[in-house]
Chains A and B, each alone.
Chain A
Amino acid sequence: KNEVEQSPQNLTAQEGEFITINCSYSVGISALHWLQQHPGGGIVSLFMLSSGKKKHGRLIATINIQEKHSSLHITASHPRDSAVYICAVTSGSARQLTFGSGTQLTVLP
């Protein structure tokens, strides 16, 4: 079993839909990250969470430390949101990132 599990693996939505991506982890963490990766490969950090909820524009991230679960929500989705969304946790003395396998999101116009 992977230490970080994401679902769904693939998600296709119509423009305007509300989207949720889920992440569960099984290790102790110092922080949880939501990252976005476009086809070129570069990774952009969307959120870093250690508790509660954060919002940035149409993106909302929540974390439940007791249940070891986090969600990323996208409201009023748009085709430009199409990308791979990756959940990762920071743990260990080196604070290395352990990544989920990613969710490929495609938003259709």
Chain B
Amino acid sequence: ETGVTQSPTHLIKTRGQQVTLRCSSQSGHNTVSWYQQALGQGPQFIFQYYREEENGRGNFPPRFSGLQFPNYSSELNVNALELDDSALYLCASSRIAGSNEQYFGPGTRLTVT
């Protein structure tokens, strides 16, 4: 157990809807990264939040947005869902930005129909 939790575990949405996924980081960690893992592929970096600010972003469109709260928990929001957004969404927390060590949550499986 890494101490990183994610909710919900599974989610089914319809194309065009909006979704919010949540992540609680490990105690003492102030950095959260989000990854998308499509079926049969390795995860892809979406973005990272450090002390409530975006600290890096991968090649994802603006309809993928995030927030980090003062307690360092984080949300991933996806607007205008597309079928290709169906994936496992993983968050990972780090003690500090720039740390090589990341601790993963169990993931949220999103299905878009």
Q: Are B33 and A96 in contact (CB under 8 A)?
A: yes
Collect the chain A residues with CB atoms within 8 Å of residue B29's CB: none
Q: Are B109 and A96 in contact (CB under 8 A)?
A: no
**Residue in A41, A43, A48, A98 whose CB lies within 8 Å of B100:** A48
0/1 interface trace, chain A 4-38, chain B, CB 8 Å (1 if under): 10000000000000000000000000110100000
Complex: chain B residue closest to A86, CB-CB: B42
| Stretch binding the partner chain, chosen from A58-66, A70-78, A99-107 | A99-107
| Residue B61 at the chain A interface, CB threshold 8 Å | no
- Whole-angstrom CA separation of A34 from B10 in the bound complex: 26
| Residue A109 at the chain B interface, CB threshold 8 Å | no
Complex: chain A residue closest to B54, CB-CB: A94
Q: Number of residues in A with C-beta < 8 Å to the partner?
A: 26
Q: Are A101 and B41 in contact (CB under 8 A)?
A: yes
Collect the chain A residues with CB atoms within 8 Å of residue B16's CB: none
With A94-B97, A97-B33 known as contacts, the answer to whether A88 contacts B42 (CB < 8 A) is yes
**Interface range for B:** 20 to 34
Q: Are A101 and B33 in contact (CB under 8 A)?
A: no
| Residue A45 at the chain B interface, CB threshold 8 Å | yes
Q: Are B106 and A95 in contact (CB under 8 A)?
A: no
Q: Are A41 and B43 in contact (CB under 8 A)?
A: no
| Residue A57 at the chain B interface, CB threshold 8 Å | no
A residues near B, CB below 8 A? 4, 30-31, 33, 40-45, 48, 50, 86, 88, 90, 92-102
B residues near A, CB below 8 A? 33, 35, 37, 40-45, 48, 50, 55-56, 58, 88, 90, 92, 94, 97-107, 109
Q: Which 9 A-B pairs give the minimum distances between C-beta atoms?
A: A94-B56, A99-B42, A31-B100, A43-B104, A41-B107, A96-B45, A42-B106, A94-B48, A90-B100
